[in-house]
Structure 1
Amino acid sequence: MRRVVFNQKGGVGKSTITCNLAAIGAHSGQRTLVVDLDPQGNSTRYLLGAEAEGIEDGAADFFDQTLKFSVRAKTPEDYIVETPFEHLHLLPSQPALEELHSKLESRYKIYKLRDALASLEDQYDAIWIDTPPALNFYTRSALIAADACLIPFDCDDFSRRALYALMENVQEIQADHNPGLKIEGIVVNQFQPRANLPQRTVQELVDEGLPVLEPYLGASVKVKESHERSLPMIHLDARHKLTQEFVALHAALSKPATRKRAARAA
């Protein structure tokens, strides 16, 4: 399963959600790949820590190669690095992604990521794609390459207003480029159950019939420590309430895949 975590609004927790769900899958034994397409590289720093500064090959090098012809072209595997966590690999972000954007868009390299990830399907049980906070070449590439889209939602009115346009953009990609893409659900992040506004906002989404996933992810300062120490929550504090919410969310996402595998086996 290839999932993209996408929201055009910044600061909604895309990288945190991507890395923590990926880390939980890897911790349970799934061969897992994180693809960091955000030039800011938050997922890359989260998973590699100080080692992120010394990356020689990464996502920018992969895309740069698509602009050139080479008899001895590197394979997608050549751009992937190991993380300190067993079963968890990373296609790291690089700042040069920003510089390459216009060239890639003008040369219409929009399907290259899809083809690369398809060639890796036998090597990974799960692929998670982190995206920039914009509907640009990298985000479109990710949506075209993915089977499912998760939309982080941080319980404020600005996020809600942007949500409808965002879902329309995903559906447009689905109609024009990737008929197999589905909106798997809205991930409620930074939820404060005792506050009236988040409760009311999320309930209104549920009442509208939107695919709001459970459990909701609570607000916690522990996640900031997780970022600082480059340790996803499952490795920092497996018993923490937020960690258990991530574990439950990962389990909820895994159930449909489990049912499909069982149906195919039958």
Structure 2
Amino acid sequence: MRRVIFNQKGGVGKSTITCNLAAISASRGLRTLVVDLDTQGNSTAYLMGRETALPEDAGTAPFFDQVLSFRLYEKDPLEFIVESPFENLHVMAASRELENLQGKLESRYKIYKLKEALEGLESEYDAIYVDTPPALNFYTRSALIAANRCLIPFDCDDFSRRALYELLDNVAEIRADHNPELTVEGIIVNQFQSRAKVIQQAVNTLREEGQPVLEQFLSASVKVRESHEHCKPLIYLAPKHKLTAEFASLYDALMSH
């Protein structure tokens, strides 16, 4: 299964959700790949460590750079992937070089190359998770075209709710024009606070409208910050924490579909 985690709004927990779901997948014995397309590289840092020196010829930027050039010998997509410190969990890392490549990739219409690569990698991996930039750009469109399922983090404020409608329209357009397999697997309520009326109202409004809000909420917790600081997803840092259990419940619900 190829899942993309997407929201055009920043700070909604895309990388946190991507990495924690992928880490649970890996901890359950599934060979799991995280593809980081965000130039900020938050998923890369979270899984690989901020001080880890990654090979210059590995990652999403070298992969897309190869796409732009004709070569007699092309590297297999596997060669752009590195192992993380966690068993069964691999990463195609992001870098700032993605910014420099974007214009060239758009002008030469390389929008289907990621799909071709990830389809080929499905023989090597049981699960693939793609983290995207907080914008509808070339990399996000590539990810939506390459994926089977789309997960949308939602951080429970009215501004996010209004932006969600445009996001859903954009996903529907990608599905109609490029990828009929793509389905919105669900909206993930993140940073949930059960006592906050505004949050409850926002979630209830989405449900009343028939939006695909998942039943499994992710609570607000300082443990996420600790997890980022230690570069360890929650299943490894705090396996018995409440939020870890919520991620596991979310993962199980997604796998049961």
TM-score with structure 2 length normalisation?
0.98
2:28 aligned partner: 28
Matches within 5 A, 1:106-121: 106-121=107-122
Matched, 1:219 2:220: yes
2:237 aligned partner: 236
Per-residue deviation, 1:52:
4.0
In 1, Cα distance between the equivalents of 2:181 and 2:125?
19
In 1, Cα distance between the equivalents of 2:29 and 2:254?
16
In 2, Cα distance between the equivalents of 1:104 and 1:43?
22
In 1, Cα distance between the equivalents of 2:234 and 2:23?
8
* 1:59 alignment partner AA: T
Matches within 5 A, 1:72-111: 72-111=73-112
In 2, Cα distance between the equivalents of 1:119 and 1:58?
16
2:163 aligned partner: 162
Per-residue deviation, 1:207:
1.2
Structure 1: 5+ residue runs without aligned partners?
257-266
In 2, Cα distance between the equivalents of 1:194 and 1:131?
31
1:254 aligned partner: 255
2:54 aligned partner: 54
* 1:150 alignment partner AA: L
Structure 2: 5+ residue runs without aligned partners?
none
In 2, Cα distance between the equivalents of 1:54 and 1:166?
33
In 1, Cα distance between the equivalents of 2:50 and 2:200?
38
In 2, Cα distance between the equivalents of 1:183 and 1:125?
20
1:11 aligned partner: 11
- Superimposed CA distance per residue, residues 181-210 of structure 1 (whole angstroms, 9 cap, x where no aligned partner): 000000000000011111111011111111
Per-residue deviation, 1:175:
0.1
Matched, 1:202 2:197: no
Matched, 1:179 2:180: yes
* 1:140 alignment partner AA: R
Per-residue deviation, 1:51:
4.7
Q: Is the 8 A contact 1:31 1:124 kept in 2?
A: yes
* 1:227 alignment partner AA: H
In 1, Cα distance between the equivalents of 2:184 and 2:153?
12
Per-residue deviation, 1:69:
0.7
Aligned residue for 2:90, secondary structure, equals strand
* 1:118 alignment partner AA: E
Matched, 1:189 2:193: no
TM-score with structure 1 length normalisation?
0.95
Query: Which ranges of 4 or more aligned residues in structure 1 deviate by more than 4 Å?
Result: none
In 1, Cα distance between the equivalents of 2:108 and 2:29?
39
Per-residue deviation, 1:53:
3.9
Aligned residue for 1:4, secondary structure, equals strand
Which sits farther off after the overlay, 10-19 or 193-202? Answer: 193-202
Aligned-pair Cα RMSD in Å: 0.8
Q: Is the 8 A contact 1:44 1:52 kept in 2?
A: no
Aligned residue for 2:152, secondary structure, equals strand
Per-residue deviation, 1:50:
3.3
* 1:60 alignment partner AA: A
Aligned residue for 2:232, secondary structure, equals coil
1:65 aligned partner: 66
Identity of aligned residues (%): 66
